Amino acid sequence: MSESKIGFIGLGIMGRPMVKNLLKAGHKLVVYDKFAALDDVIALGAEKASSNKELASKSDIIITMLPNSPHVKEAILGKDGVIEGLKSGTIVVDMSSIAPSASQEVGQALKAKGIPFLDAPVSGGEPKAIDGTLAIMVGGEKAIYEKVKPILEKMGSSVVHVGDLGAGNVAKLANQIVVALNIAAVSEAFTLAAKAGVKGEQVFDAIKGGLAGSTVMNAKIPMILDGNFNPGFRIELHIKDLQNALDTAHELGVPIPLTASIMETLQALKVDGFAANDHSAIIRYYEKLAKIEVRK
């Protein structure tokens, strides 16, 4: 698939560096975003399309990286959407984090046109999108996955086939539950330490090498201690993912009470005006309760 032309829809915080990594790897790209400026990637050699439909007509593989289920459905199935411009033999890969049922709905619509579809959401936030070290979890037909895997590996250091269509987004929902609850646990612990008069840097150094250590803590505690809540992954997007997790869990008859609890914490932060903060700002909720800041 190395000579295939890739169409990429959605150049936000995540999509833009992903496109740049594909360009850096020598791939030919045509790009489209309904809202974002594309000058920087055009300067690097990407071609600009005027619509999702036009992009599809020029692409052999189409990747979407959009905020949520309605945006993916609009881009692929809507007016002037991908489905109207598809060529025979095209593969569509959605790398957005959406509801598994939405992935299956889009996949069925494309299957009726003879077009294979994969759901391939990512984890790692903006830093790993920039580094090209995202974790990518893929659902869909294994043979199609094998065809596009070399392209996905230009954007991620871990590319895993999870199962049938929708399984990628199930894995992503599981990931988002673990990440949110991990940040909450770290926030509770470090707020307690700060209130007890113990410096966060020392606590971090003391526990990061033990069982409590985690990738989440390693990534988020330095941000918290610096008071840096610039988004790698915004609270409002984590709210979206956890809503998809709650909806999916309830459809399946799976109670997830801890997820419901952290969702309310995120909602409180949104009300306080922190929706655009990085999800490390979960610490702000605990700081407000304890009337203390966890900083250097």
- Mind listing the pLDDT tens digit of every residue in the chain (296 residues)? 557 899 999 999 999 999 999 999 999 999 999 999 999 999 999 999 999 999 999 999 999 999 999 999 999 999 999 999 999 999 999 999 999 999 999 999 999 999 999 999 999 989 899 999 999 999 999 999 999 999 999 999 999 999 999 999 999 999 999 999 999 999 999 999 999 999 999 999 999 999 999 999 999 999 999 999 999 899 999 999 999 999 999 999 999 999 999 999 999 999 999 999 999 999 999 999 999 999 99
Q: What span, in angstroms and rounded, lies between the C-alpha atoms of 75 and 10?
A: 9
Q: Where among 165, 198, 226 does a domain terminate?
A: 165
Q: Is 172 annotated in the active site?
A: yes
State whether 157 and 34 are in the same domain: yes
pLDDT at 1: 54
Whether residue 108 lies inside any domain: the answer is yes
**Structural domain boundaries, residue 186:** 170-290
Whether residue 295 lies inside any domain: the answer is no
The H-or-E segment that residue 118 falls in is: strand 117-119
Q: Give the CATH number for residue 135.
A: 3.40.50.720
State whether 24 and 77 are in the same domain: yes
Q: Where among 135, 165, 195 does a domain terminate?
A: 165
Reported for 20-25, long-range contacts at CB under 8 A and 24+ positions apart, including other chains, are: 20/44, 21/129, 21/132, 21/154, 21/155, 22/151, 22/154, 22/155, 24/154, 25/154
- For residue 179, give the nearest of 126, 136, 123, 230 by alpha carbon: 123
State whether 218 and 249 are in the same domain: yes
Q: Give the CATH number for residue 258.
A: 1.10.1040.10
Q: Where among 143, 165, 187 does a domain terminate?
A: 165
Whether residue 234 lies inside any domain: the answer is yes
State whether 155 and 181 are in the same domain: no
Q: What span, in angstroms and rounded, lies between the C-alpha atoms of 59 and 86?
A: 8
From 53, 172, 220, 240, active-site residue: 172
CB atoms within 10 A of CB 125: 20
Question: Domain count of the chain?
Answer: 2
